[in-house]
Amino acid sequence: MIEMKEFISQSIKTESLRTLKKLIAIPSFNTTNGNERAFPPFGKGIDQALKEVLTVCDKIGMDTFYDPEGFYGFAEYGDGAETVGVLCHLDVVPEGDTKKWDSDPFEAVERDGAVYGRGTQDDKGPTVAALYGLKALIDSDETFTKKVRFIFGTDEETLWRCMKMYKEHEAVPDMGFVPDGTFPLTYAEKALLQVKLTGPGAAKMEIQCGKSPNVVPDTAEYICGNVENLSTIFDYMSIPYSIQGEKVTVHGKSVHASQAQDGKNAIALLAKGLVGFQPHPAVSFIGEKIGQETNGRTLFGEVKDEVSGELTLNVGTLEINSNYSEITLDIRIPVTQDKELIVERLIEASALYGLEYKEYDYLPSLHVPLESELIQTLLSIYRDKTGDQSEPTTSGGATYARSMPNMVAFGAHFPGSKSLAHQENEHIDLDDFYKSMSIYAETIYRLACQD
């Protein structure tokens, strides 16, 4: 293990925590329903978070830029022919069920050695850790031989239009990392395919469940005129539910869609119970072709590879009203598998139920060879700083790393720590927060301060 200087001082810790709390207090989730023609394109909260972090960067001594259209911002420090990029995002998912939070999701609360609030893990906490890792180097008067550019995205939780706009107008870094994953690092990410399946409405059926394709829904509500009969079916099928008047609520467990196997999909459970009780093409498709499967085996057969494992499938939302029905699916495809084969089988299966396929979003997979210089450098930094010899991992999650060449996701989640991204009571342990900051300081030092 290499003996290294510790750049993170107590003043850096104090200041970084203050900044994190300011950012958590900003409810920076998309409020424009995808209307990027609005200004700000994704809502005032996201724009406020972007401006706040650029103000922090300016105080640190970085040169800052705010996209006049509000899609992105960046801040840079140092000089050199090459640029090290740090790609972060400031948007978050909505708070979810506030009754399940022990404190206000948009008020950073310290308790039991952790900070609670939406975005503490994904991705405001890691963003601040990386940013103050850089500040620690600046305060130490280190000499930079490369330029460091922090790129702040605003649309990561939806369609990545911020990265598209950035690449159309700005220079792409030569190398870098994304503090939006797991240590030691993620060298392969599955392709992300999100689709909508639309079909007929229903005169006597109204359902609106789920909030986002990339979240496993923990509740699904249905207004039923015959609660007693439906509850009998749910009891027989061991479907967890509660009743309030004519409203039946099915209960599941929410996790990020990339880890759907660790959750319990409330929409799929509701569909399972409704297939025979209140038939509808959308309900029948979910109940018969997906159910509680998270690998899509009934729909696609076995889809997996040695690099990134099995396909992951999530039913994110279901809407049925008098005019139409719509299902959104989130599919994570192994890095060596064929997207077109998945699409072909999905179109064939959904057509049998009178549902029409429409692609909503697609991000190709990422696979950086383990022997690459970037991976070997980051891996050695992590191991030198922690003594942990864990191997690099693959992921079903989609990070900005796949948006630019020579990038990988690098922390800030540590092996063995609880992942709470997109969940209630999201929080980050302060020890992990400061430890990741130290790793990022060393990383920027080795990548941008050493020839």
Helix (H, G, I), strand (E, B) or coil at 213: coil
Our CA angle for 329, 334, 340, nearest 5°, is: 65
State how far the Cα of 110 lies from the Cα of 120, in Å rounded to an integer: 11
Measured distance CA(212)–CA(330) in Å, rounded: 9
Residue 63 neighbours by CB under 8 Å, 6+ apart: 75, 76, 77
Q: How many Å apart are CA 138 and CA 441, to the nearest integer?
A: 10
Where b means 16+ CB within 10 Å and e means fewer, 101-139 reads beeebbebbeeeebbbbbbbbbbbbbbbbbbbbbbbbbe
Sequence-distant (≥ 6) Cβ neighbours of residue 333 within 8 angstroms: 190, 191, 192, 193, 303, 311, 339, 342, 365
Tokens 């992942």 found at: 419
On whether the CB atoms of residues 183 and 58 are closer than 8 A, the answer is no
- Residue 97: CB atoms within 10 Å: 11
- Determine the Cα–Cα distance for residues 198 and 319; give it in Å rounded to an integer: 9
Alpha carbon distances (Å) from 218 to 120, 252, 265, 322, 450: 21, 4, 6, 25, 48
Pairing relationship of beta strands 309-310 and 312-320 according to DSSP bridges: unpaired
Quote the tokens at residue 343.
Answer: 């699409």
List, by residue number, the catalytic residues. 91, 156
Distance CA 316, CA 216 (A): 6
Residue located via tokens 């040169």:
63
